[in-house]
Copies of this chain bind each other. A is one copy, B any other.
């Protein structure tokens, strides 16, 4: 059983190789594309209240699901091009965040770590 991040990385490698797309997949292009997809994911939420955003219609949710997928695909591809192990990087970041946001100080607050 392969880890899904590795499986996606390999599927995207094949996808790009078959289409001769590696030439376009410079880190800077992929970072721009990722940023564009993240904004497309934000777009359906921009006029919603917090409550409305928690209760999407099935159609809105299906559209958002595709945008979530797009972000993940560019993220996996960019990490691969930079030779970054995404899962390890994310685990390390959670550990770092746990130090920056100690439970006692951060509880119930949305302030940044340098303001708590």
Contact = CB atoms under 8 A, between A and B. Distances in A.
Interface string A87-114: 1011111101110010100111010000
Interface residues of A, number: 77
Copies of the polypeptide in the assembly: 4
A5 B87 CA distance: 8
Contacts of A19: 101, 103, 106-108
Most buried by B among A29, A52, A92: A29
B82 A56 contact: yes
16 contacts: A8-B87, A23-B108, A24-B110, A26-B54, A27-B64, A28-B45, A28-B49, A31-B42, A32-B32, A34-B71, A35-B38, A61-B84, A65-B89, A66-B93, A71-B75, A75-B75
